[in-house]
Amino acid sequence: MHFQPRVIVKAFRIKPYEYWPYWLFYAPFVLYWILRSIQSSSFSYFCKVNPGIEFGGFLDYSKFDLLDQLPNEFKPQTILIQNKDEFVNSFDFPFIVKPNFGERGVNVELIQSEMDWENYSFNENIIIQEFIDLPLEFGVFYVREPDHDKGEILSITGKEFLVFKSDGKTTLEEFVLNHPRTATRVDYLKNKFKDQWRILLPKGEEILLEPIGNHNRGTRFYDASDLITKELSDTMDKLSKHLNGFYYGRFDVKSESIDAFQKGNLVVLEVNGANSEPTHIYDQKFNLIQAYREIKSHLDYQYKISKLHSKTHRPKDFYKAIWKRISRKFK
């Protein structure tokens, strides 16, 4: 059998790490975790990084409880309901819905009508949040040592939302089927935009395909760490001190403009704890080795802060929680 060289190359072509499965991308850090676990004499040392949050904010922690601690001027109107039947609509459309115990943008939706709400399938511990219609969204990764008054912004992720801009020749279907960021979202987008799916829209018309700023849902992440200013850092210090036992994590925020953001004028959509990912690594300017170096530098802070808490704080039954989560997946 004769093989064409280009066929062989295609067969072994490696996708950019941005599109790798989560478990594969982070597999090398199992060794890091084992080493740090031995050094700290605990396989769940990272739970100590934020002693005021369940499991340090690694899993099974309430997003609502964290956001609720922030001053009103820095957050959207937000409520928590146990199931959809409890909801009495006091929000204008559109609004955001998401699980209180959620990760990686799963079941986060923009509700624009009664029909959207009826079709929303998740029905347990639901956050209802005012939709903040500001043009810029960022992820601000912040750390502070327990005995320090001032913390540090380690990195900032800028977010570019997935938009279809018609050229008058390409249908939405063709755009989605050929765009690298929509490979896992074809059925979802086809259902959501079924009325526009196969028609040619007027040239220049735009459709925001994904209003949720999550990497798994087509949003492009880029490194915006050059936007760090003293004013922004002071604002993050102020916000972090409103959060009980918080020292390490990422604030997902919106702002009116770059200038406003750098002055600390922002709205916090969500606070993430020990499971926070330094998402600026998905900027295409980073190669795999550089991305891993960035992750390691963030995890080094996590270990350092956790170690400072080790004498006064002990994690709860983390292993039991892990087993419970695994069991749910196999039911």
Q: What is the CATH number of domain 20-61+68-74+133-161+210-311?
A: 3.30.470.20
DSSP state of 307: H
Grade residue 273 by pLDDT with cuts at 50, 70 and 90: very high
pLDDT on residue 14: 63
Q: Which CATH superfamily does the domain covering 77-131 fall into?
A: ATP-grasp fold, A domain (3.30.1490.20)
Grade residue 156 by pLDDT with cuts at 50, 70 and 90: very high
Grade residue 1 by pLDDT with cuts at 50, 70 and 90: very low
Do the beta carbons of residue 127 and residue 97 sit within 8 Å? yes
**String of DSSP letters for 12-63:** TPPPPGGGS-HHHHTTTHHHHHHHHHHHHT-TTGGGGSSTTSGGGGSSS--H
Tokens read off for 45: 């040392």
Domain locations along the chain = 20-61+68-74+133-161+210-311, 77-131, 163-208
Question: What pTM does this model have?
Answer: 0.89
Q: What is the mean pLDDT of residues 229-243?
A: 98
Q: What is the mean pLDDT of residues 280-298?
A: 97
Q: How far is CA 255 from the centre of its chain?
A: 17
pLDDT on residue 7: 40
Do the beta carbons of residue 207 and residue 163 sit within 8 Å? yes
pLDDT on residue 310: 74
Q: What is the mean pLDDT of residues 314-322?
A: 71
Q: What is the mean pLDDT of residues 155-176?
A: 94
AA letter at 312: T
Q: Same topology for domains 20-61+68-74+133-161+210-311 and 77-131, yes or no?
A: no
AA letter at 257: S
**String of DSSP letters for 194-205:** TTTTTSPPPTT-
DSSP state of 106: T
